[in-house]
Chains A and B, each alone.
Chain A
Amino acid sequence: MIRSLPSSPLYRINYRIYVFLFFTFLLMPLIAISVLAFNDSNFISLPWNGFTTDWFFSATDERQGLFSDEELIASIFTSLSTGFFVAALSTLVGTLAALLFEEEQFRLKGLLYFLALAPLVIPGVILGISLLLTATSAGNHIEDSFGLDVELFRPSYWLVVLGQFSFGATYVMLLVSARLKKFDRTLEEAALSLKATRLEAIWYVTLPFLRPAIIGAFVVAFILSFSNINTTIFLIGSDPTLPIDLYSRIRFSSTPVLNAVSFLIVLTISGFAIINLFANRSNK
Chain B
Amino acid sequence: MRNNKHSFNITFYLLIVPVLIWLIFMIVIPHAELLISSFQVEDDNGDMVFSFGNYIEFFTQKIYWLTFVKTAAYSIGVTLLAFIIAFPIAFYLTKVTSKKNAAFLMLLLLIPLWVGELVTVYGWMVLLGDHGVINHFLMTIGIINEPINMLYTNFSMVVGLLYMSMLFMVIPVMSTLQSMDDSLIEAACDLGASKWDIFTKIIIPYSMPGITSGAIIVFMLVIGDYLAPNLLGGKNSLWFTEQIYNDFLQTFNWNEGAAFGFLLLMLSSGIIWLALKLSGQKLEKVGA
Instruction: State if A and B touch, Cβ cutoff 8 Å.
Output: yes
Inter-chain contact A126/B34, CB cutoff 8 Å = yes
Q: Which of B15, B124, B189, B217 contacts A29 (CB 8 A)?
A: B124
Residues of B near A120 (CB, < 8 A) are: 217, 220, 286-287
Residues of A near B120 (CB, < 8 A) are: 29-30
User: Please, what's the 1-or-0 string for B82-121, where 1 marks a CB less than 8 Å from any CB in chain A?
Assistant: 0001001100100110000001110111111011111110
Given contacts A15-B92, A113-B284, contact A199 B10 (CB under 8 A): yes
Complex Cα spacing A117 to B224, Å: 17
Inter-chain contact B95/A199, CB cutoff 8 Å = no
Choose among A93, A105, A133 the residue with the greatest number of B CB atoms under 10 Å from its CB: A133
* Chain B residue with Cβ nearest A115: B23
Given contacts A22-B89, A120-B287, A227-B117, contact A137 B107 (CB under 8 A): no
Inter-chain contact A127/B112, CB cutoff 8 Å = no
Q: Which of B55-63, B128-136, B204-212 contacts A (4 or more CB under 8 A)?
A: B128-136
Inter-chain contact A134/B30, CB cutoff 8 Å = yes
Complex Cα spacing A92 to B33, Å: 26
* Chain B residue with Cβ nearest A127: B30
User: Please, what's the 1-or-0 string for A21-52, where 1 marks a CB less than 8 Å from any CB in chain B?
Assistant: 01101111110110010000001111100000
Residues of B near A162 (CB, < 8 A) are: 26
Judged by a CB distance under 8 angstroms, whether A156 is at the interface is no
User: Please, what's the 1-or-0 string for B209-224, where 1 marks a CB less than 8 Å from any CB in chain A?
Assistant: 0000000110011011
User: Please, what's the 1-or-0 string for A200-235, where 1 marks a CB less than 8 Å from any CB in chain B?
Assistant: 001000000000000000000001001101100110
Minimum Cβ distance to chain B for residue A106 (Å): 6
A-B contact count (CB 8 A): 274
Inter-chain contact A277/B227, CB cutoff 8 Å = no
Residues of A near B12 (CB, < 8 A) are: 100, 104, 106
Residues of B near A15 (CB, < 8 A) are: 88, 92, 96
Inter-chain contact A27/B108, CB cutoff 8 Å = yes
Given contacts A45-B136, A104-B15, contact A126 B88 (CB under 8 A): no
Given contacts A18-B88, A46-B136, contact A4 B186 (CB under 8 A): yes
User: Please, what's the 1-or-0 string for A78-106, where 1 marks a CB less than 8 Å from any CB in chain B?
Assistant: 00000000000000110011011001111
Q: How large is the interface on B (under 10, 10 to 19, 20 to 34, 35 or more residues)?
A: 35 or more
Inter-chain contact B225/A247, CB cutoff 8 Å = no
Minimum Cβ distance to chain B for residue A70 (Å): 21
* Chain A residue with Cβ nearest B86: A22
Judged by a CB distance under 8 angstroms, whether A237 is at the interface is no
Residues of A near B163 (CB, < 8 A) are: 25-26, 29
Inter-chain contact B15/A100, CB cutoff 8 Å = yes
Complex Cα spacing A248 to B277, Å: 41
* Chain A residue with Cβ nearest B137: A46
Q: Which of B11, B249, B283 contacts A117 (CB 8 A)?
A: B283
Complex Cα spacing A274 to B185, Å: 33
Residues of B near A11 (CB, < 8 A) are: 195
Inter-chain contact A2/B95, CB cutoff 8 Å = yes
Residues of B near A18 (CB, < 8 A) are: 88
* Chain A residue with Cβ nearest B130: A45
For the complex, would chain B's binding face be called helix, strand, loop or mixed by DSSP majority?
A: helix
For the complex, would chain A's binding face be called helix, strand, loop or mixed by DSSP majority?
A: helix
Judged by a CB distance under 8 angstroms, whether B257 is at the interface is yes
Complex Cα spacing A129 to B226, Å: 13
Inter-chain contact B96/A129, CB cutoff 8 Å = no
Residues of B near A26 (CB, < 8 A) are: 108-109, 112, 163
Inter-chain contact B89/A32, CB cutoff 8 Å = no
Given contacts A19-B92, A262-B119, contact A3 B182 (CB under 8 A): yes
Given contacts A1-B195, A174-B288, A262-B123, contact A251 B231 (CB under 8 A): yes
Judged by a CB distance under 8 angstroms, whether B148 is at the interface is no
Inter-chain contact A265/B112, CB cutoff 8 Å = no
Inter-chain contact A32/B123, CB cutoff 8 Å = yes
Residues of B within 8 A of A (CB): 1-2, 4, 9-12, 14-16, 18-20, 22-23, 26-31, 33-34, 37, 85, 88-89, 92, 95-96, 103-105, 107-112, 114-120, 122-127, 129, 131-133, 136-137, 163, 182, 185-186, 189, 195, 198, 216-217, 220-221, 223-227, 231, 241, 244-245, 248-249, 254, 257-258, 261, 264-265, 268-269, 272, 283-284, 286-288
Knowing that A30-B119, A125-B261 are A-B contacts, what are 4 other residue pairs whose CB atoms are under 8 Å apart, sorted by A's residue number? A32-B127, A123-B224, A177-B287, A230-B225
Please name the 10 residue pairs, one residue from A and one from B, whose CB atoms are nearest each other, closest first: A123-B224, A29-B123, A227-B116, A130-B30, A166-B26, A46-B136, A130-B34, A100-B15, A45-B131, A134-B33
Residues of A within 8 A of B (CB): 1-5, 7, 11, 15, 18-19, 22-23, 25-30, 32-33, 36, 43-47, 92-93, 96-97, 99-100, 103-106, 112-127, 129-134, 137, 162, 165-166, 169-170, 174, 177-178, 198-199, 202, 223, 226-227, 229-230, 233-234, 243, 246-247, 250-251, 258-259, 262, 265-266, 269-270, 272-274, 276-277, 280-281
